[in-house]
Chain A
Amino acid sequence: MGGPARLVVLLAVAAATPVAAAADRFVPAEPSFVVANIRQSQPDVALRELLLAWRANPDAIRSVALANAYLERARNLREPAYFGRAEAVLAPLATQAGANASLRRLYAEVLQHRHAFAAAEGLLDSLLHDVPHDADARLLRASVRLVRGEFVGARADCAQLVGAAGSGAILGFACLAEALAGAGDLDRALALLNSGLAQQSGADSSARAYLLATRAELRERSRDLNGAILDYCEALRLAPREDSIRAALADALAAKGDLAEARELLAIDKPSLALLVRSAALADGKRRAELKDRAAAWLALEAARGDAVHYREEALLALAEADPARALNAATRNFVEQRELPDVRVLARAALAARNADAQQALRLWLEETGYRDSVTEGILDDGVGS
């Protein structure tokens, strides 16, 4: 460990302690004071039956059924506890030799949720080696590879999905477009998406939202900010609970200078960390300080829990706090595992803010090697514009 790192680590352990320790106690003056809302929308009879069956016999079939139900609720209700429950059900069986394909695929999804991308990809590699025609596993691996910037591998997976029947083909279209765009072929990727959107005009709204959001990102990278905003707006209309689309639209609006619209877009109840950090960056005065404190507390809690820290958001927060060294450190650590558009841009901005020529050069090299193109990143690296 170099520098005074270990000592700083010692101090960091001490700094993590207040995460548990600091919170003033109080006793409500009014007995009617509402401490918490614990209402469940409806008793979940189906889940209860699956749970009872699993408790009676926790075999692979019942484990898959229960984990599937947990994951479905985790996605629909945005409730992280269901991911934890799915993991608790899957982990004992999925990590055993000879675990069936469904167990391994679901466990890979849980790993991806935890940002354990390398572990997820490794598990999917072995699964696809055993069951090459598992389209769901291939889609999942393609998405992991896209996140990690492995565009060549992702392209191979996506190409196989395009040939699949039904909804898998739609996914394959968008996935292939993302992979092509990752390698710099923005024009072909856009043509593919336009064709996909034309063919899938009656497609499911979420499928269409995915295609539109992907096209919006490509338009943004090709300097068509207005076109991107239109696509993001439509995508968000179709999938209003999708925070990643909301965050991308807010970024595009802010880039265009429509700060008030971006702020309004981000002002939702119980925002995710990604939205919270963006709100903090766009807010002023006392509100800005309050939002930054909330985001910082969130990140500190993740670190204290030992979770995968959201380094992208930490970098964005550090940039908002005018702390370029911390921003570059977080953005660099984030880029090891995540190489999507916001990851590329935040790294470029942090490297510029920190005036770190080595980091800028390393990013340039990555862009050259992959062929990745983004007009904003190029502007930051070449002209120092966009910090």
Chain B
Amino acid sequence: MNKWIPALLLCLALLGASPPASSHAASTSFVILDLPGRDEPVGVRWDLSLHDIVWVVFIDADYDGNVTWQEILDAKSSLTSALLAQLSVQRGGAPCTVRVQDFALATRSEQNFLSVAMQADCPKAGLVSVGGGLFLSGDASQRVLLSALRGKEQIAGVLSAAEPAWTEPVQVSAWASFARFVGEGVWHVLIGYDHIAFVLLLLLPSVMRPVAGKWHGATGFKQVTRDVVTIITAFTIAHSITLALAVTGTVILPIKPIEIAIAASIAIAGAVNLVPRLAKLRLPLAFGFGFVHGFGFANALSELDAEGTTLLPLLGGFNIGVELAQLGIVALVLPLIYSMRATRWYSGAVLPLGSCALGMAGVVWMLQRV
């Protein structure tokens, strides 16, 4: 608001700009729900400012302007009636019977709020709804902040005169979330050309062995498979760590440098493949660049609508999906290149030219992303 005009308007009675900043927040009450299994009662706690209640219930028996704890206890019966009249709880569309259990106080925003513990016995199972008058008294700025605990899941809601009811959101099962994010992980790798390029660059030399500065076909499929599994596992461990760190907000990095670093990882992996003497670097490179790719996966994951999903199935599902896709690529490509490893065509064309082409693509992406 314009800072000075309010002072003037107070006296001029000209309708103009805004008033001085208020010394406290607008009216807010707090409803805390404990949502148990289908046959158990719903726990309800309602914390209210007495300023909201005294519009409806007479409490200050001695008219001195101060409401004491004794006056609240004396007015318990009329308070209970008013509270039950102002709050409705339903489950599965059927009204629940609400009972007041006890009165206490809670300090919020440096005020003492009346804190009422209640229990709602519901005849049906299903989703819980909360509504009623809620002591909303013609003030558009009044809010009821709702917090519900469903198992380990915390759900928040806001009720107001404009939206005076809240219904528990449909629970997304952990297995359904897990399955969905496995699919998302697979899909992300399949459409993410840069991750496919990096995995291919890890695979191409895996069927070869450096001997006297030249590539020679490896012997033994078992040994080759072990080599590939080691490298892919190192890559996986690294990107799982950074994915978890990014998703939980523990580490937040800007997208642009990450995208550039991913492109650079492809360019470097391509270059390493061209020099057989650098073959020892493949494992540390896979591990090191895995950290970078993890942030890239987190970026992709952030684009998805994850509402109603808890962290574990989301992270676990996405990671496993990424691994399945990577293993799928390995399963498709490895037998093919293993069968070609001993040919001059593979060591002279597929490996160097393929690495070169993918590496150059990495350079181009890097330049595009700068």
Q: Are A5 and B302 in contact (CB under 8 A)?
A: yes
Contact A112–B18 (Cβ < 8 Å): yes
Q: Which residues 46-89 in A have Cβ within 8 Å of B in the complex?
A: 68, 71-72, 74-76, 78-81, 83-85, 87-89
Q: Would you give the shortest CB distance from A131 to chain B, in whole angstroms? A: 13
CB distance from A41 to the nearest CB of B (A): 10
**Cβ–Cβ < 8 Å partners of B147 in chain A:** 17-21
Q: In whole Å, how far is B51's beta carbon from the nearest beta carbon of chain A?
A: 6
Least distance between A265 CB and chain B CB atoms (Å): 16
Within 8 A of A (CB), among B217-250: 246-249
Contact (Cβ within 8 A) A4 B49 = no
Q: B302 to A4, Cβ gap below 8 A?
A: yes
Q: Which among B108, B142, B247 is the interface contact of A7 at CB below 8 angstroms?
A: B247
Contact with A along B74-116 (1 / 0, CB 8 A): 0000000000000000000000000000001111111111110
Give CA–CA (A24, B72) in the complex, Å.
19
In the complex where A16-B156, A25-B105, A171-B8 touch, is A75 in contact with B19 (Cβ < 8 A)?
yes
B140 at the binding interface (Cβ < 8 Å): yes
The answer to whether B261 has its CB under 8 Å from any CB of chain A is: no
Task: Decide if B68 touches A209 in the complex (CB within 8 Å).
Answer: no
Contact, CB under 8 Å: B19 / A38: no
What is the bound-complex CA distance between A81 and B50, given in angstroms?
14
Let me know if A39 is at the binding interface, CB within 8 A. Answer: yes
| C-alpha spacing A76/B23, complex, angstroms | 12
Q: Determine if A243 and B50 form an interchain contact, defined as CB atoms under 8 angstroms apart.
A: no
How distant is the Cα of A39 from the Cα of B51 in the complex, in angstroms? 10
Task: Report if B336 contacts A (CB, 8 A).
Answer: no
What chain B residues lie within 8 Å of A286 (beta carbons)?
none
Q: B301 to A4, Cβ gap below 8 A? A: yes
Determine whether the beta carbon of B68 is less than 8 Å from that of A113: no
CA distance A8 to B249 in the complex (A): 6
Rounded to whole Å, the gap between the CB of A68 and the closest CB of chain B is 8
A37 close to B (CB within 8 Å): yes
- Residue A287, interface by CB 8 Å: no
Q: In the complex, are the beta carbons of A207 and B299 less than 8 A apart?
A: no
CB distance from B145 to the nearest CB of A (A): 4
A84/B141 contact (C-beta < 8 A), A20-B32, A105-B15, A243-B21 known: yes
The reply to whether B65 and A39 form a contact with Cβ atoms under 8 Å apart is: yes
Question: A75 and B6: CB pair below 8 A?
Answer: yes
Cβ-based interface call for B129 (8 A): no
Q: Kindly identify which residue among A85, A167, A239, A273 contacts B140, using a CB–CB cutoff of 8 Å.
A: A85
Interface residues of A in 140-176 (CB under 8 A from B): 140, 143-144, 146-147, 167-168, 170-171, 174-175
Q: Which of B137-182 contact A (CB under 8 A)?
A: 138-143, 145-147, 149, 154-156, 158, 161
Residue of chain B at shortest CB distance from A55: B138
A330 CB-CB contact with B under 8 Å: no
Please tell me if A352 contacts chain B, counting CB pairs below 8 Å.
no
| Bound-complex Cα distance A11 to B311 (A) | 9
Interface string of A80-120 (1 = CB under 8 A from B): 11011101110100000000000001100100110100000
**Residue with the greatest number of chain B CB neighbours at <10 A, chosen from A11, A14, A84, A174:** A84
Q: Determine the residue in chain A with the shortest Cβ distance to B142.
A: A84
Q: How many residues of B contact A (CB 8 A)?
A: 95
Q: By the criterion CB–CB under 8 Å, are A32 and B68 in contact?
A: yes
B47 within 8 A of A: yes
Taking CB atoms, residues of chain B closer than 8 Å to A71 are 15, 19
Cβ-closest chain A residue relative to B258:
A3
Bound complex: CA of A235 vs CA of B4, how far in Å? 10
Minimum C-beta distance from B323 to chain A (A) = 20
Q: Are A8 and B252 in contact (CB under 8 A)?
A: yes
Q: How far is the CA of A84 from the CA of B301 in the complex (A)?
A: 40
Beta-carbon contact of B3 and A213 below 8 Å: yes
Task: Tell me, rounded to whole Å, the shortest Cβ–Cβ distance linking B170 to chain A.
Answer: 16
Q: Say if the beta carbon of B61 comes within 8 Å of chain A.
A: no
List chain A residues, Cβ under 8 A from B24. Answer: 80, 270
Contacts of B9 in A (CB 8 A): 75, 206
Is residue A189 contacting chain B, with contact meaning CB distance below 8 A?
A: no
Binary CB contact string for chain A from 350 to 379 against chain B (1 if under 8 A, 0 otherwise): 000000000000000000000000000000
> Is B70 part of the contact surface with A, judged by Cβ < 8 Å?
yes
> Nearest B residue to A294 by beta-carbon distance?
B110
In the complex, chain B residues whose CB is within 8 Å of the CB of A16 = 156
Contact call B2/A340, Cβ cutoff below 8 A? yes
In the bound complex, residues from chain A placing their C-beta under 8 Å from that of B368 are none
Within the complex, what minimum Cβ distance (angstroms) separates A270 from chain B?
Answer: 4
Q: Are A33 and B68 touching (Cβ within 8 A)? A: yes
Q: Enumerate 20 A-B pairs (CB-CB under 8 Å) in ascending A order.
A: A2-B299, A4-B246, A14-B156, A18-B147, A20-B30, A23-B106, A32-B68, A33-B68, A38-B50, A38-B60, A74-B19, A78-B22, A83-B141, A146-B2, A244-B4, A244-B7, A270-B23, A272-B20, A298-B109, A305-B145
Extra A-B contacts (18), CB below 8 Å, given A32-B68, A75-B6, A83-B26: A2-B302, A7-B248, A10-B306, A16-B156, A23-B115, A27-B104, A28-B69, A31-B68, A35-B105, A37-B65, A38-B54, A40-B65, A113-B19, A143-B1, A168-B14, A245-B3, A298-B109, A307-B26
Give 9 closest A-B pairs by Cβ, nearest first: A39-B65, A84-B141, A84-B139, A20-B147, A31-B70, A143-B17, A143-B2, A87-B140, A272-B21
Residues of A within 8 A of B (CB): 1-8, 10-11, 13-14, 16-21, 23-28, 30-40, 68, 71-72, 74-76, 78-81, 83-85, 87-89, 91, 105-106, 109, 112-113, 115, 135-136, 139-140, 143-144, 146-147, 167-168, 170-171, 174-175, 178, 204-207, 209-210, 213-214, 235, 239, 241-245, 248, 270-274, 294, 297-298, 301-302, 304-307, 340
